[in-house]
Chains A and B, each alone.
Chain A
Amino acid sequence: MGFYLIRRVLQSLMALIGISVVVFLLIQLVPGDPARAILGPKASLSAVAALRKAMGLDRSIAAQYWSFLTNALRLNFGFSTLQQSPVASLIWPRLGSTLLLTAYATVVSVVLAVPLAMLSALRRNRPLDHGIRLATMVTFAMPAFWLGLLLILLLSIKLTVFPPSGYGVGFFGHLYSLTLPALTLGLGLAPLIVRTLRGSIVETLGSEFVEAARARGFKEARVLRRYVLRNSLVASVTVVGVNVGYILSIVVVIENVFALPGLGSLLVTSVQNRDFPVVQGIALVLGAIVIIVNLFTDLGYSLLDPRIRLSGHR
């Protein structure tokens, strides 16, 4: 188990480095001169040269990458060209709300998906199952921003239950304001979970130990809970873990729909203004979050499935 842990952490580190390389290389892709791109065609040559020096663009690529990496490890992501303040100082305050929304949305999606997956599996190939599968397909094809607007229309404008935008005050204020966004995200993510979880539950339902549990005369609810669901947990954790990148992507869009003070809105303005340091910083931070979450879900398996815990593999 210890060996597994070490190996896994090393893998994560390599992935982090991989991301840093990709993010770093992005700025190299800018056609022409990034400094020129930032300052515009009317800026003087000396101003551009000065900016190049300030951005360190006159050094070799390897040197640039090295300083990029070492800075990133110290959580120094450079300076925002737009706002003239350290990128890190722009990111940290907003990180909290993004993470809160992500967590909230994950909970909502799981709460929605698990009963649906269970129903779908238990009534396999009957009308209810087909209905659920159709519904998930349609929901998945809905653009998140559109779904968000529909929910605003329904629950904010027609029925004034939730605020259409904003973040609220205080922890519960946050949760209240985040409910619509979380619901939008949850509806978008739930189809993925239902799909995988349903398959896993169907498989488990056919297992002999489920039959043996019924033979012991346990109530169906107990069998479903302790024998079926519990064994399908690994599958659902996997799905969530694998889709963290997807979740974060939609979070970024949703934050703009609902005018939330998170990384998403910052990202959009930065992209519009071609503020590369900020874009890089956000990409690094969110990419790192994905890797860390994946690491934790992998380690989480060992808590859920004793077969993994004790031998390091299935």
Chain B
Amino acid sequence: MASQIGSGMTSASLSELEGAGASSSENLLEIRQLTVGFPSRRGVVLAANHVNLSLSASRTLGLVGESGCGKSVTLRSVIDMIPKPGEVLEGEVLWHGRNLIGRSAREIRAVRGRQVTMIFQDPGASLNPVYSIGDQIAEVFRIKLGINNKESAERTTDLLKSVGIPSPEKRARDYPHQLSGGMRQRVMIAMAVAPGPELLLADEPTTAVDVTVQEQILSLLVDLQQSSRMAVILVSHDLAVIGQTCDEIAVMYAGYVVERGSRDDVINSPRHPYTQALLAAELVFEPGQRRSHLDTIGGQPPDLADLPPGCPFQPRCRYATTECAGVPMVIDRPPPEHGSACPFVEAPG
């Protein structure tokens, strides 16, 4: 099943470090018990529920799940960009061992856009329409790295070239609306890697672009990652994209992390019923083909304001029993082992 997901191009992303567990002191990023709540008329809803994740340098972590599962919120909480009125209710985000939650705006800004950068789903909407792209990239150099104008301009041209934009000197003077979607996404990636970040957060970067562009972007990300020691967290609802590019995968559902492990482990031997259902829905998969798996897993997506006690996947799970109402939703094995929140089901085969 796994060999049908993803083409071979990303074997480069399978780092030799796979499986060689890094101790927590080497972890670049550690998310511990992160819980994010949003007020609603029906009470406080937990968009992220005691999320535990970790990541080391040069690794790519994929966060996968359907819309509303909390992957975006988790991603944004790393750099304190949770949309209001959401708030972090519990937990820590440890960056190089230091907790970022509750830090002053100035301290966060030292990390944000410099050590940790982010790219968004819709490249057209994420660029300032009234300044040229060269201007905007140079701005990152000037403000975040303190480089003077002349050198910023030079670096901008180099950077544009390295992300694959032809005739960069000319293109730098263009405005976002003059570029195609794929080029705009490259520009956004360029802006994100300009400060030489240690971690890149990618929020559904391939969702809003067509399939050919998707391939280009993913390979660009992989290339960039190889030349630096940049770690990446890639969020997507598309399991194929995640499978193509990530070393480690965490599957989320209704705000919980339900399964976590290396790419091969999760895809070849999924331990959680939700992951199994996701993979089953993918079936035979051609590169370039995208399927929505919302309609192939039976039942409705979870209503976060009205979850059943215990495991939220019960209504749609083929193995559900009365004992599921008592499941504590904790991953049973510590990283880097392949853990699942379901104590009952084992991997097929």
CB-CB < 8 A to A8: which residues of B? none
Which residue on chain B has the smallest CB distance to residue A222? Answer: B143
Residue interface bits A158-183, CB-to-B below 8 A is 1, else 0: 00000000000000000000000000
Interface residues on A, range: 20 to 34
What's the minimum C-beta distance from B111 to chain A, rounded to whole angstroms?
8
What's the minimum C-beta distance from A22 to chain B, rounded to whole angstroms?
38
B113 interface residue (CB < 8 Å to A): yes
Q: Is the CB of B129 within 8 A of A307?
A: yes
Q: Is the CB of A209 within 8 A of B131?
A: no
Q: Is the CB of B144 within 8 A of A230?
A: no
B191 interface residue (CB < 8 Å to A): yes
Binds B, one of A68-76, A99-107, A210-218: A210-218
Which residue on chain B has the smallest CB distance to residue A223? Answer: B128
CB-CB < 8 A to B131: which residues of A? 226, 230
B49 interface residue (CB < 8 Å to A): no
Q: Is the CB of B109 within 8 A of A219?
A: yes
Could you tell me the distance between the alpha carbons of A230 and B114 in the complex, rounded to whole angstroms? 24
A259 interface residue (CB < 8 Å to B): no
Q: Is the CB of A215 within 8 A of B81?
A: yes
Q: Is the CB of B130 within 8 A of A218?
A: no
B171 interface residue (CB < 8 Å to A): no
Which residue on chain A has the smallest CB distance to residue B105? Answer: A220
A33 interface residue (CB < 8 Å to B): no
CB-CB < 8 A to B185: which residues of A? none
Most buried by B among A208, A213, A216, A305: A216
Known: A304-B130, A307-B175. A215 touches B118 (CB 8 A): yes
A30 interface residue (CB < 8 Å to B): no
A145 interface residue (CB < 8 Å to B): no
Q: Is the CB of A216 within 8 A of B140?
A: yes
B340 interface residue (CB < 8 Å to A): no
B332 interface residue (CB < 8 Å to A): no
Could you tell me the distance between the alpha carbons of A148 and B10 in the complex, rounded to whole angstroms? 74
CB-CB < 8 A to A213: which residues of B? 128
Which residue on chain A has the smallest CB distance to residue B126? Answer: A212
Q: Is the CB of B117 within 8 A of A212?
A: no
Which residue on chain B has the smallest CB distance to residue A228? Answer: B128
A310 interface residue (CB < 8 Å to B): yes
CB-CB < 8 A to A238: which residues of B? none
- Identify A217's interface contact among B113, B122, B175, CB under 8 A: B113
Could you tell me the distance between the alpha carbons of A305 and B176 in the complex, rounded to whole angstroms? 12
B67 interface residue (CB < 8 Å to A): no
Could you tell me the distance between the alpha carbons of A310 and B125 in the complex, rounded to whole angstroms? 19
Which residue on chain B has the smallest CB distance to residue A212? Answer: B126
Could you tell me the distance between the alpha carbons of A220 and B114 in the complex, rounded to whole angstroms? 16
- Identify B109's interface contact among A209, A217, A226, A310, CB under 8 A: A217
Residue interface bits B116-136, CB-to-A below 8 A is 1, else 0: 011010100111111110000
Q: Is the CB of A231 within 8 A of B129?
A: yes
A258 interface residue (CB < 8 Å to B): no
CB-CB < 8 A to A93: which residues of B? none
Most buried by A among B114, B128, B191: B128
Which residue on chain B has the smallest CB distance to residue A207? Answer: B125
Q: Is the CB of A215 within 8 A of B175?
A: no
Could you tell me the distance between the alpha carbons of A310 and B132 in the complex, rounded to whole angstroms? 13
Q: Which 9 A-B pairs have the closest CB atoms?
A: A217-B113, A217-B112, A216-B113, A208-B125, A212-B126, A215-B118, A306-B175, A217-B109, A209-B128
